[in-house]
Amino acid sequence: MDSQDKMDDYKLVQSIGRGAYGYVYLYRRLSDGRLVVIKQLPMESISPEECEVTKNEVRVLSMLQHPNIIEYYDNYLDVNTMMIMMEYAPGGNLYDYLRSRGEGNLLQEEDVLHLFSQLVLGMQHIHESNILHRDIKSNNILLDKSHRIVKIGDFGISKILSSKSKAHTVVGTPCYLSPELCQEKPYNQKSDVWALGCVLYEMLTLRRAFEAETLPALIMKIMRGIISPIHAHYTQEMRGFLQLLLHMDPAQRPTIAQVLAQPLVFPSLLRLHADLGMIHCVSRPLRLSSVTPDRLRTPRGSVDGRVEDGSGGK
């Protein structure tokens, strides 16, 4: 089936937005009525480095299959445009949802743990695949229409690690950078755990843990590790858990497996394991063999691509 035949099965619904390298659209698949996101990247307008970033997201997505990770469907070249088909998250992202609640309209602790536990389960699958996400933030955490199901998205700067290796490149969104990243030290999965702590704080307070007018001032705040206290109606266990995730020393921060073993998280996990079968997640074969630089430039081939927009569903 060539690219035109593929697109004959899709009807454009609306534009979702523009990313760093291309455009994101919402389509309806005519064969089953399902809404899908199609990221479109004009290949002639990007650099070789951007091309590598494009290839990286599909390489990572093709390795991952979990109910709490945005699902990858397919990719191909249409003339000189890379098309990446992905799952649509109708509830938008966590950042917008939290801001829409209005100041002071805090989430109940049980609801925070319901969302956070799903996020940790998705991260467990990512880390067990020897992948660092490197850009966990509320903008990249997508939701279903009821705002009860979490989907991790945007894998453009994720890194596939060899066993016991550490990453060195400083990447990610500044507000969620770990202290070791701020110091340009080698880092590992514990840096993603710090970002999870920042997201948890955001869910508890409806504001970011670390913010400043300038990047140097932000780095200073992160390096001091001082955050405003959470509201008194949250439990002491939650306060201790948050401090554990945001420990300045990565060696003292828990692994994802240790986070899942926390008594505070365990009841939510039990409920989730009873419900996870209700979340749509289609089985599909791995596509790693199709990820090659040469094929990325070949028209009408099945290749790997990336449009970085921080969306994946919005």
DSSP states of 99-149:
HHT-TT-PPPHHHHHHHHHHHHHHHHHHHHTTEE-----GGGEEE-TTS--
Q: Pick the residue with more confidence: 282 or 120? A: 120
Kindly report, residue by residue over 27-76, the tens digit of the pLDDT.
999 989 999 988 888 777 777 776 776 777 777 777 888 899 988 888 88
Question: Is residue 3 very low, low, confident or very high in pLDDT (cuts 50, 70, 90)?
Answer: low
Kindly tell me if the per-residue pLDDT of 87 is higher than 50. Answer: yes
pLDDT at site 284 = 52
Question: Is residue 19 very low, low, confident or very high in pLDDT (cuts 50, 70, 90)?
Answer: low
The owner of tokens 């035109």 is: 4
> Percent of the chain beyond pLDDT 70?
77
Q: Which of 201, 174, 203, 179 is nearest to 190 (CA)?
A: 179
Token pair of 130 as six digits:
């020897």
Token pair of 140 as six digits:
């990249």
**Residue 268: which region, alpha, beta or left (left: phi > 0; alpha: psi -120 to 50)?**
alpha
Highest mean pLDDT pick, 14-23, 52-61, 284-293: 14-23
Instruction: List domains and CATH numbers for the chain.
Output: 7-88 (3.30.200.20), 94-276 (1.10.510.10)
Question: Is residue 245 very low, low, confident or very high in pLDDT (cuts 50, 70, 90)?
Answer: very high
pLDDT at site 251 = 92
Highest mean pLDDT pick, 54-63, 142-151, 155-164: 142-151
pTM flag (> 0.85): no
pLDDT at site 307 = 35
Kindly report, residue by residue over 90-119, the tens digit of the pLDDT.
999 999 999 999 888 999 999 999 999 999
Identify the three-state secondary structure at position 169: coil
Q: How far apart, in Å, are the Cα atoms of 12 and each of 18, 41, 141, 182, 306?
A: 16, 16, 24, 42, 20
Whether 30 and 9 have beta carbons less than 8 Å apart is answered as yes
Question: Is residue 16 very low, low, confident or very high in pLDDT (cuts 50, 70, 90)?
Answer: confident
Highest mean pLDDT pick, 130-134, 186-190, 298-302: 130-134
Q: CB 228: neighbour CB atoms within 10 A? A: 8
Q: Pick the residue with more confidence: 309 or 249? A: 249
pLDDT at site 252 = 94
- The reply, when asked if residue 39 is annotated as ligand binding, is yes
The pLDDT mean for the chain works out to 80
Q: Pick the residue with more confidence: 30 or 298? A: 30
Q: What number of CA atoms fall less than 13 Å from residue 313's CA on the CB side?
A: 25
User: Any idea which of 70-74, 202-206, 208-212 has the lowest mean pLDDT?
Assistant: 70-74
User: Any idea which of 45-49, 223-227, 286-290, 303-307 has the lowest mean pLDDT?
Assistant: 303-307
How far from chain centre, in Å, is Cα 246? 19
User: Any idea which of 123-127, 254-258, 285-289 has the lowest mean pLDDT?
Assistant: 285-289
Q: Which residues are catalytic?
A: 135
pLDDT at site 9 = 84
Token pair of 225 as six digits:
């590790």
Q: What is the mean pLDDT of residues 149-173?
A: 61
Which amino acid would we find at residue 307?
V
Token pair of 211 as six digits:
């913010």
d(CA 80, CA 91): 32
d(CA 83, CA 76): 5
Whether 83 and 75 have beta carbons less than 8 Å apart is answered as yes
d(CA 59, CA 239): 37
Question: Is residue 4 very low, low, confident or very high in pLDDT (cuts 50, 70, 90)?
Answer: low
